[in-house]
Structure 1
Amino acid sequence: MEKSIHSFEIVDDNIIVKRIDKSLLTYGEIRIPNYLRDFFHFHEMEKHDRWDIRITYNKIDYYGVLYLDDYKRLRGKLRWGKDLTRELSNVTSKYVFESYGYDIKEENVPLLRLEKIDRQTFVADVIFPEDVERDAKEYMLHADKFIYGIKARFENDPEIRMKVLKQQGMSCAICGFNYENFYGNVGRGYIQIHQIIEDEMKMDEFDVEKDFIPICENCHGLIHRNKEEDLSVSELKQIIHIRHELRKTEKE
């Protein structure tokens, strides 16, 4: 379950969320506090180890290093190159530095989501709380376009949306489409939420981690296209997989 400590949030054993701050954008590094040393496997490090790491952001691979600067206390840093710092700065600086003239509010500061694939491989996303709140309101204003049934009232709840994005990231859980990667800044922070479960239940019976997924508008529309019987997530994934394999065969 989610656990918030200082500027970090531990989502689960393989996912953390970090509030982006001036130090991260200025120096391209994160100082790892003691309570996250197991997440980064510092207990497996020798005194002078420096692990080369790969961070995938917007489908581009960037490289960095994990190392201990205090071996006795198992304290260390995660650092990356100027190229990733530049990419993160391009989309988040106005929320962090006063010189941009933006009305900075702590609750609107973007969040860096890091998903650990293994101890030296990570996938990064940036979540924009301001966009999560705005999109939820926009969906409710355009019910004819975005609402597919009674369950959608939960899909548009800002709190649920934020939890789903922290847990699963900004790409479609069915086809992998990422709006920012494809459209650039105009697609930043955009994704819909799909409620997988079919039965109407009370809010306290939902498992946000299992019952909701981020989803692109194309997949969402196809799932709900037949009003008599929705496609399931697994069925649509299978269709996409089969089509992908057929295209590979045709090319060969």
Structure 2
Amino acid sequence: MKYWIVPSNDRTFRIGDAIAAQNGMADWRTNKFSEGDIVFIYKTRPEQRIRYRMEVIKSNLIFNEIFEQEEFWTDKETYYSGYITSYARLKLLEEYTDDILSLDHLHEHGYNGQPQSVREIKDESLLDFLLHPHQIANDEAYDVDYPEDDDKLYEGALMKVNVNKYERNQKARRECVAKKGYQCLVCGRDFEATYGEIGKNFIHVHHLTPISTIGKEYELNVDTDLAPVCPNCHYMLHRKNPPYTIEELKDILAKQSVDVVAKPKRSKKADTIWLQSDANMLRDVNDDADVRRLIHNMMEMDGGTMMKNITSVCIGMFTDRYIGMKPKDWRHLIDDYVRGVTNRSELKEDTLFRYKFG
């Protein structure tokens, strides 16, 4: 078995359209591939990233044996010149919808230049990255702390992490998640709970002490120097220099969550003064999407939010809308809702969104 990177330009052949129309297969003009080979299709500008991983299931096909692909060839002259050329049939194994295999990341893992022709991959480090991109990126490239708008610091940090490691990249990361887990310390996001098996053990590790301020001999303290955070929060932490602290970003997130529901869109029904009996009021509160959204946002903001805090915010936000609603009824309603959402999250049911908004 061999591994290949192949450039593809939609101005010549729209391989994505061919794959979609031919049940995940496409015929590629070449005599270099053998059955069982793995081919990484690199999309040229403007994408500049590997888009598909495909397996060769047939080789040395002649023109009369291939799919009718004329409609996918933008360059008709090149298409008709292929009568005397051999083809290989490729079957889609995986489509990469993110930038995990971008040209920059390929360069970081040993690929030189730009894919301009069919190239066999023999470098073991590069091949390991191509076969396990998310795992390796999560362990290495995506754990680099860097200020977004400072190219010099970014390149310096990246170089030092890749070369010197600061003795933190692997061992320190493992120690950090072993002690602090895979839940974001800012927003509480747990990728396994959200995405299931594919999110297991995924998290970024944030360096609380900016690496631009320390030397390579700096001895890390996992308890005080590292924190597990989700990619979004990791990015936001570095929106200023020096970075926000974990507590500062939590405060920003908390304020934003409250602001979102501070002035909810009110229906004509909600603009009236509600003086129903307790039973009717409970039913209306339970069906109120604004109330559900507030509770849900507070739960997402901090998985450890105490029930009394959610209750206090709800009472403060919706007192005018539900005059006469008793605090104990708020507590019971919120408790039932939180338990319901939690159960759906644990069961990974797809009804969670409908439960949130009714």
TM range (shorter): 0.3 to 0.5
Structure with greater strand share of residues: 1
Q: TM-score, normalised by structure 1?
A: 0.39
Q: TM-score, normalised by structure 2?
A: 0.29
Structure with greater helix share of residues: 2
Larger radius of gyration: 2
